Structure formats: structure tokens, C-alpha cells
Structure 1
Amino acid sequence: MLKLFRVTAILEGISYLALFGVTMPLKYWANITEPNIYVGYAHGALFIAFIALALLVCYTKKWGVKRFIIFGIASLLPFATFYVEEKYLKPAAA
């Protein structure tokens, strides 16, 4: 489950950057709305999966609420899920 959480963290970070760094400017500056719809759906699904997996991993690994809160905050900040994956989810750190 930890490997799935690691992959989800990376994909959620990429989708966050794609949504706000690529498709939002396309939507508002170039009036191209379609990519924003699909990337938005993907990001939403990955965000939900990230939070659900964070809860499951924290519970099964008996990590505290503090780490779950760190994961939750990381899901809201650009580049933060990459930091979480590197610092907390690498095999050596787990």
C-alpha cells in the first residue's frame, strides 16, 4: 500500500502543477477550456485518493495524527507532495 501511496503522491503533485500551471492559464488567457476539464477531474480524483491513502497508511503503519496532518497540508501546496514522497515515503524513511 505504501508504494501505491508514493505513486499517488507523485501523480497528485504532477496533476496539481498541470492544472494550475498549464490548463488554468490556457483557460483564462487563451480561452481553451477543454484541457482544464479533464485535468481538473484527474486532479480531483488523485487528491481524494491521496487523502484516503494517507489515512489508510497512517492507520496501518501506526503513524500519528501529526504525520497525517502534514500529508493533508502537503496535498494543498504546490510541490509539497514531492517533498512528502521524498522525506516520508521513500523505502529508507518508511
Structure 2
Amino acid sequence: MNQINRFRIIGFLEGSSLLLLLFLAMPLKYWAGLPEVVTVFGSVHGGLFIVYILFTIYTTITVRWHFIWFLSAVIVAFIPFGNFILDKRIRLSFQ
């Protein structure tokens, strides 16, 4: 498995954790009165986000990505479904 594929897996995990936080944990907090769900999912997402950013830096250095790829990878981490769109672009560009 090459570095790009490892990056794609981390991106998928981070993007999925954001979606679970936004569309599962947050509604459970406000509609079902379960704030502890956000605590758990938020902690998992925060950890995955840190790993994702570190992996983005590492991938940029090892693959010698152009700065635009690095910047795109950081920006999409804040947009729901953004990692999946970037993943498709990476798949088309690097494989």
C-alpha cells in the first residue's frame, strides 16, 4: 500500500467521523437529550482530525505534493462530505 492510499484511508475515517458527529451525535444531543454522545464522537473526531492533519503534512513531504493539494486537504476537513470529494479527485489524479 502506498502513501496516497494510506492518506485516502485516513481521509475517509476523518470524513466519516465528521458526518457521524454532525448527523448522528448532534441530533441525539438536542433531540434526545444525550449530550454524552457528542462527547464521545467529538473526542474520536478530534483525535482523527489531528491524525489527518499530521498525515496530510507527512504525505505532502513524502509524495512532494504541490501546495494546492496540501491546502485542499486541510480545507476539506472542515466541510461535510469534503474528504469524499477530495478522495475522488486524488483517485483520478494519482492512480
- What TM-score do the two structures reach when normalised by structure 1? 0.89
* Match in the other structure for 1:85: 87
Write out per-residue CA displacement over residues 29-48 of structure 1, whole angstroms, 9 at most, x where no aligned residue. 21112221111111001111
Match of 2:58 in 1: 56
% same residue:
33
Question: What's the CA shift string for 1:31-68, capped at 9, x where partnerless?
Answer: 11222111111100111111111111111111121211
**CA distance in 2 between partners of 1:8 and 1:63 (Å):** 17
Secondary structure at 2:46 match in 1:
helix
Aligned counterparts of 1:70 and 1:93: Cα–Cα separation in 2: 14
Q: Which amino acid aligns with 1:69?
A: L
Q: What CA deviation, in whole Å up to 9, does each residue of 1:57-91 have, x standing for no partner?
A: 11111112121111110000000001111111x2x
Query: Structure 1, unaligned stretches of length 5 or more?
Result: none
Question: 2:73: which partner in 1?
Answer: 71
Question: More deviation in 60-69 or 73-82?
Answer: 60-69
Within-5 A mapping of 1:5-44 = 5-44=7-46
Which ranges in structure 2 are unaligned for 5 or more consecutive residues? none
2:33 alignment partner, SS class:
coil
- Point out the structure with the larger helix share: 2
TM-score (ref. length: structure 2): 0.88
User: Structure 1: how far apart are the matches of 2:49 and 2:6?
Assistant: 14
* Residues paired across the two proteins, number: 92
Q: CA RMSD in A?
A: 1.2
